[in-house]
Amino acid sequence: MGVLDRLLGQRGPSSRDIAKERLQLVLAYDRIKISPELLQTLKNELIAVISKHVEIDREGVEVTFSQGKRRSRLIADIPLVSTRGHRR
């Protein structure tokens, strides 16, 4: 297979690249023990709590996580609704 790929000029990412990418993604979830459903719940509750105090753009809220060496972090990007318009 390898030699043949070489001769034909390899197309697309190698299976090594695919393996690495898949592993990084699956481990990101494994390590934080947060399922996509839990992430959605977190997002909904964050929106509820924060919008009690400040006006936010609910549609624009993004809750994701990023992966460090052996530590992942949860990142919430919560756009505030601009208050400038009200002054006009």
Partner 1 sequence: MGATIITITSGKGGVGKTTATANLSVALALLGQRVVAVDADIGLRNLDVVMGLENRIVYDIVDVTEGRCRLRQGLIRDKRVPELYLLPAAQTRDKTAVSPEDMVRLCEQMRDDFDFILIDSPAGIEQGFRNAIAPADKVIIITTPEVAAVRDADRIIGLIEAEEKGPTSLIINRIKPDMVRYGNMLTTADVIEILAIDLIGIVPDDKAIIVSTNKGVPIVLDDKAPAGLAFHNIARRLLGEDVPFLDIREMPNIFERFVRFIRKG
Position 31 contacts partner 1 (CB under 8 A):
yes
Position 25 contacts partner 1 (CB under 8 A):
no
Contact region for partner 1 (CB under 8 A) — 4-12, 34-42, 43-51, 78-86? 4-12
Phi-psi region of 72 (alpha: psi -120 to 50; beta: other; left: phi over 0): beta
Question: In this complex, which beta carbon is closest to partner 1, that of residue 36 or of residue 85?
Answer: 36
CA dist., res. 21 & res. 11, Å (int): 17
CA atoms within 13 A on the CB side of 18: 5
Position 34 contacts partner 1 (CB under 8 A):
no
Position 11 contacts partner 1 (CB under 8 A):
no
